């Protein structure tokens, strides 16, 4: 499940992506996106250290994207905030670790399912960018959810 940290990071970055050349104060982003100020401040510090945003102090200060919105994938932001997308460490590319309870990784059917899941999720998240979040037009996969979809 996506952490609140990653969700808030994406909401804040989506806000910045709507006007990528404009600097915004943290207070404004927090209020506009309904994000707790102190939590957002910590998230933006991480994003600055990872060169996703640029910050400037002073009267004309604030934060803005360090790169074009089309060059920042949603998958990369999630990995920065939450770590690997894989559901099991044995299915991770960046933080692979063998499972202690698995005697034969090559024959493990659960591992293969988790690799397939990671690949499918990563395909979607890595092809979507902050430009997609900022766009007002719906994504190709968007449709109205019905009550049946929600269970």
Whether residue 145 is contained in a domain is answered as no
**For residue 139, what is the DSSP state?**
P
Residues 89 and 128 in one domain: yes
Whether residue 45 is contained in a domain is answered as yes
CATH number at residue 61: 1.10.10.10
Q: Express each pLDDT in 15-57 by its tens digit.
A: 999 999 999 999 999 999 999 999 999 999 999 999 999 999 8
Q: How many angstroms from the chain centroid is the CA of residue 103?
A: 34
What are phi and psi for residue 93, nearest 5 degrees? -90, -45
Residue 10 has pLDDT above 90, yes or no: yes
CB atoms within 10 A of CB 111: 18
Q: How confident is the model over 73-91, as a mean pLDDT?
A: 93
Residue 53's domain comprises: 4-65
In this prediction, residue 149 carries a pLDDT of: 56
Whether residue 150 is contained in a domain is answered as no
**For residue 92, what is the DSSP state?**
-
Residues 83 and 126 in one domain: yes
Residues 60 and 77 in one domain: no
List the Cα angle 94/142/83 in 5-degree steps: 15
Whether residue 147 is contained in a domain is answered as no
- Reported as type and span, the H/E element at residue 32 is helix 26-33
Whether residue 151 is contained in a domain is answered as no
CB atoms within 10 A of CB 22: 11
- Reported as type and span, the H/E element at residue 79 is helix 74-82
List the Cα angle 12/16/25 in 5-degree steps: 80
Q: Express each pLDDT in 84-125 by its tens digit.
A: 998 888 988 888 988 888 888 888 889 999 999 999 999 999
In this prediction, residue 140 carries a pLDDT of: 55
CB 8, CB 40: distance < 8 Å: yes
Give how many domains the chain has, as a whole number: 2
């Amino acid at each position: 499940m996506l952490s609140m940290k990653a969700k808030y990071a994406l909401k804040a970055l989506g806000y910045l992506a709507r006007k990528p050349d404009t600097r915004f104060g943290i207070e404004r982003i927090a209020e506009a996106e309904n994000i707790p100020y102190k939590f957002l401040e910590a998230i933006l510090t991480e994003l600055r250290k990872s060169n996703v945003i640029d910050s400037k102090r002073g009267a004309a200060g604030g934060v803005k994207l360090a790169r074009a919105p089309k060059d920042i994938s949603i998958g990369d932001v999630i990995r920065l905030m939450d770590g690997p997308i894989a559901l099991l460490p044995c299915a991770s590319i960046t933080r692979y670790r063998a499972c202690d309870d698995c005697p034969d990784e090559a024959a493990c059917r659960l591992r293969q399912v988790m690799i397939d899941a990671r690949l499918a999720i990563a395909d979607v998240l890595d092809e979507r960018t902050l430009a997609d979040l900022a766009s007002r037009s719906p994504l190709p996969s968007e449709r109205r959810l019905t009550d049946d979809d929600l269970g």
